[in-house]
């Protein structure tokens, strides 16, 4: 046996969409129902575990045999669930215990979903079948069958139970066929995608990701429970107060609140956190009080404490928080469940003291000390992630990684020299833009903010809109003055501006001629209806069914098929600067994975954008971790990397 393609059906009392597969599978009510598989692309066999059938010895052996490639669509689900099944039913199987935990080692497990994403395609088996126009399609009735057999139901006496085949024999036969069909569809997808295999080094990166997910990150559950309790108490006090002030049935409703504001003579298109400061600045005192109460009551970030508790396994660790290749345009990670990539910032001066106060249960003292309790709880969310006793966290991240990468790609010499000299890039940028020395908190220090906003907004072709989005409105400048910032930035970085147009020209030519071309450190090619851009690492970005077209103004544009913001498959537009953004962020992602590989002897428990969180012994230093991050790979010769870090007793932003 060389390859085993597998699909399973399971049952659990946990909601996998809320808690993730690790908590789902460790439930005492978790059960393996059906297993369908194919050996080396051969006929599909189904094992009815729920009816008492057992897996053949050769399949049991293959699951832990690293010489056999195991494939599934979202293979993390199969690997984790089968790990629990084997641990409970076949504890004697050799090689099962893994260094990270009680999970089958991820090496030799390949994911067809990752393969699809690598080629710029869809993330679900059903969607991939439709995209590739397969005759073999995932059965539409699957969702209803899963709901019937895989989740708890309440009988007439109020008892919770699972239905089995004796309750609906016909449905069970359909369920078996559904399970079998999934493997048939997977095999068809594998054959169609086999012309463009995933490079081996991507699977090595995937194994790093799987071990981080298996390891998990420890949650301070006692603190999270107290935070939930405090938040609930505060909101019980806020709701009637806000209801009394507004006379609304549900003052927490955005629609009702907007209507109430309209009656006060204030028009509000949105009540999100970006709009609220503007509304508060112009509102009379009585309306301001209402808005502040509404803001506290509607603070959704505090719900992450509930999510933490719901996702934590029996040992207190939250697992499965990272989605490998979650952004298929760049290959970057996406967050799952708790979403570590989307945590509120912390600005409190006394994080440890405030956390201790809440954890101790002295809720009255907390209320006396802080006026906006939901905001305090929001800022403390990061601190709920902790190292185990006797360990600490070292947090390290790349310094100005995207600015370094794009400067390296474009050959913007003055920028490279600034990085080599250890200069603050925002000061260096402002000095170049305005022709005067700029020092942080020193000579012409007020210009640094303009340099920072321009630097953050303009690297990928951004103009006034991007400047405003990055905080340009706080500069109190006219649109003409803001546009001058854009022009000044572009004049200082002509090679980056040229890179945008060059990448556009090369992409247009390669698509039009259906050819290939090397451009600097990049390789462009058109193969089997896909535009590939090969990065210096050897990894490729993919744009499906690209076209060169004209927009309404007669301007040449590039379109391709991909997943839009609404998660639907549609034709999207792109252009040179946007392609440069994808390329730059893709290279930054590759550098992060190179660093993670260098940390193979360290326990990485999390990562956020360009940052890693390492759980380590007290004698591990920040310098050691940063040194590993700063090692430039062979494929990035000349790119100067710098990492900064700190150690902490709980996760935080320094």
φ, ψ for residue 256, nearest 5 deg: -65, -40
Class of CATH domain 392-400+587-648: alpha beta
Q: What is the pLDDT of residues 247-258, one digit of tens each?
A: 888 888 889 988
Q: What is the pLDDT of residue 40?
A: 97
Q: What percent of the chain has pLDDT over 70?
A: 98
At 348 the three-state DSSP class reads coil
Instruction: Categorise residue 189: left if φ over 0, alpha if ψ from -120 to 50, beta otherwise.
Output: alpha
Residue 99, pLDDT score: 52
For position 100, what pLDDT does the model report? 63
Lowest-pLDDT range of 88-97, 194-203, 518-527:
88-97
* pLDDT of 474 over the 80 cut: no
List pLDDT tens digits, range 425-461: 999 999 999 999 999 989 999 999 999 999 999 999 9
Query: Domain 3-198 adopts which CATH fold?
Result: Nucleotidyltransferase; domain 5 (3.30.420)
- How many Cβ atoms are within 10 Å of 98's Cβ, its own excluded? 16
Mean pLDDT of the chain: 92
For residue 43, what pLDDT is reported? 97
**What is the DSSP secondary-structure string of 317-346?**
EE---EEEEEETTTTEEEE-TT-GGGPPP-
pLDDT digits (tens, 9 = 90+) for 18-53: 999 999 999 999 999 999 999 999 999 999 999 999
> Closest Cα partner for 423 from 454, 399, 395?
399
Under a CB-based contact definition with an 8 Å cutoff, are residues 407 and 415 in contact?
Answer: yes
Strand, coil or helix: 312: strand
pLDDT value, residue 98: 55
**SS3 category, 515:** coil
Locate the DSSP E strands across 175-295.
217-218
**CB-side neighbour CA atoms (13 Å) of 95:** 11
Residue 274 has pLDDT above 80, yes or no: no
pLDDT at 139: 74
The stretch 7-14 carries a mean pLDDT of 96
Which tokens is 55 given? 């897996």
Nearest to 376 by CA among 400, 356, 354, 408: 354
Q: What is the pLDDT of residues 305-361, one digit of tens each?
A: 999 999 999 999 999 999 999 998 999 999 999 999 889 888 888 899 999 999 988
Q: What are phi and psi of 615, to 5 degrees?
A: -95, 120
**Dihedral over alpha carbons 328, 333, 339, 342 (to 10 degrees):** -90
Distance CA 63, CA 86 (A): 9
Mean pLDDT of 496-509: 97
**Does residue 420 have a pLDDT over 90?**
yes
Q: Which residues pair with 603 in a beta bridge?
A: 615
The pairing of strands 69-72 and 109-111 is: parallel
Q: Identify whether the C-beta of residue 524 lies closer than 8 Å to the C-beta of residue 532.
A: yes
Question: Is the separation of the CB atoms in 35 and 6 below 8 Å?
Answer: yes
In the chain, domain spans: 3-198, 221-384, 392-400+587-648, 413-492
Instruction: Give the pLDDT confidence of 554-605 residue by residue, as tens digits.
Output: 888 999 999 888 888 999 999 999 999 999 999 999 999 999 999 999 999 9
Q: How far is CA 432 from CA 179, 284, 361, in A?
A: 62, 44, 54
Residue 135 has pLDDT above 80, yes or no: no
Condensed to tens digits (0 to 9), the pLDDT of residues 73-122 reads 999 999 999 999 999 999 887 556 555 668 999 999 999 999 999 999 99
Q: How far apart are CA 242 and CA 302, in angstroms?
A: 19
Q: Average pLDDT, stretch 598-617? A: 96
Enumerate residues 6+ apart whose C-beta is below 8 A from 267.
Answer: 261
Give the residue-averaged pLDDT of 479-508.
Answer: 95
């Amino acid at each position: 046996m060389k390859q085993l393609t597998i699909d399973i059906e399971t049952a659990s009392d946990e909601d996998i969409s809320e808690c993730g597969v690790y908590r789902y599978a460790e439930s005492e009510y978790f059960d393996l129902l059906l297993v369908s598989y194919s050996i080396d692309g051969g006929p599909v066999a189904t094992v009815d575990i729920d009816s008492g059938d057992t897996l053949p010895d050769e399949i049991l052996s293959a699951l832990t045999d690293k010489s056999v490639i195991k494939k599934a669509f979202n293979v993390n689900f199969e690997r984790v669930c089968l790990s629990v099944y084997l641990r409970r039913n076949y504890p004697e199987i050799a090689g099962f215990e893994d260094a990270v935990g009680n999970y089958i080692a991820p090496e030799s497990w390949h994911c067809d979903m990752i393969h699809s994403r690598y080629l710029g395609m869809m993330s679900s088996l059903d969607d991939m079948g439709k995209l590739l126009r397969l005759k073999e399609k995932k059965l539409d009735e699957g969702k209803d069958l899963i709901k019937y057999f895989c989740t708890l139901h309440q009988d007439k006496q109020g008892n919770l139970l699972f239905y089995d085949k004796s309750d609906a024999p016909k449905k069970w036969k359909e369920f078996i066929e559904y399970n079998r069909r999934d493997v048939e569809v997977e095999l068809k997808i594998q054959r169609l995608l086999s012309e463009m295999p995933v490079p081996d080094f991507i699977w090595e990166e995937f194994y790093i990701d799987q071990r981080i997910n298996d390891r998990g990150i420890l949650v301070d559950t006692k603190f999270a429970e107290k935070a939930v309790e405090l938040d609930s108490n505060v909101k019980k006090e806020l709701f009637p107060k806000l209801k009394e002030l507004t006379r609304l049935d549900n003052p927490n409703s955005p629609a009702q609140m907007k209507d109430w504001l309209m009656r006060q003579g204030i028009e509000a298109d949105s009540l999100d956190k970006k709009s609220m400061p503007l509304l508060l600045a112009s509102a009379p005192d009585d309306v301001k009080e209402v808005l502040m109460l509404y803001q506290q009551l509607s603070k959704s970030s505090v719900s992450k404490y509930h999510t933490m508790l719901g996702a934590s396994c029996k040992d207190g660790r939250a697992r499965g928080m990272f989605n490998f290749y979650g952004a298929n345009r760049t290959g970057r990670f996406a967050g799952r469940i708790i979403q570590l990539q989307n945590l509120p910032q912390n600005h409190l001066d006394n994080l440890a003291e405030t956390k201790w106060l809440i954890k101790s249960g002295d809720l009255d003292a907390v209320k006396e000390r802080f006026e906006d309790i939901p905001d305090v709880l929001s800022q403390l969310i990061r601190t709920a992630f902790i190292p185990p006793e006797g360990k600490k966290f070292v947090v390290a991240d790349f310094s100005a990684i995207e600015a370094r990468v794009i400067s390296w790609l474009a050959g913007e010499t003055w920028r490279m020299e600034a990085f080599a000299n250890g200069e603050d890039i925002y000061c260096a940028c402002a000095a170049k833009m305005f022709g005067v020395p700029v020092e942080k908190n020193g000579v012409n220090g007020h210009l640094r903010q303009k340099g920072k906003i321009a630097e953050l907004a303009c690297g990928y072709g951004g103009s006034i809109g991007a400047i405003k989005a990055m905080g340009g409105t706080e500069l109190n400048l006219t649109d003409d003055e803001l546009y001058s910032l854009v022009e000044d930035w572009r004049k200082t970085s002509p090679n980056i501006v040229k890179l945008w147009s060059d990448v556009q020209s090369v992409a247009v030519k390669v698509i039009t001629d259906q050819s290939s071309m090397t451009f600097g450190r990049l390789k462009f090619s058109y193969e089997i209806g896909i535009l590939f851009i090969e990065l210096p690492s050897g990894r490729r970005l993919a744009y499906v069914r690209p076209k060169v077209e004209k927009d309404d103004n007669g301007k040449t544009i590039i379109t391709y098929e991909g997943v839009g913001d609404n998660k639907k498959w549609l034709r999207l537009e792109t252009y040179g600067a946007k392609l440069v953004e994808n390329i730059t962020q893709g290279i930054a992602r590759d550098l992060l994975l190179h660093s993670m590989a260098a940390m193979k002897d360290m326990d990485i428990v999390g990562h956020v954008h360009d940052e890693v969180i390492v759980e380590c012994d007290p004698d591990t230093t920040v310098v050691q971790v940063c040194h590993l991050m700063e090692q430039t790979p062979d494929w990035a010769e000349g790119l100067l990397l710098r990492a900064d870090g700190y150690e902490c007793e709980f996760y935080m932003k320094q």
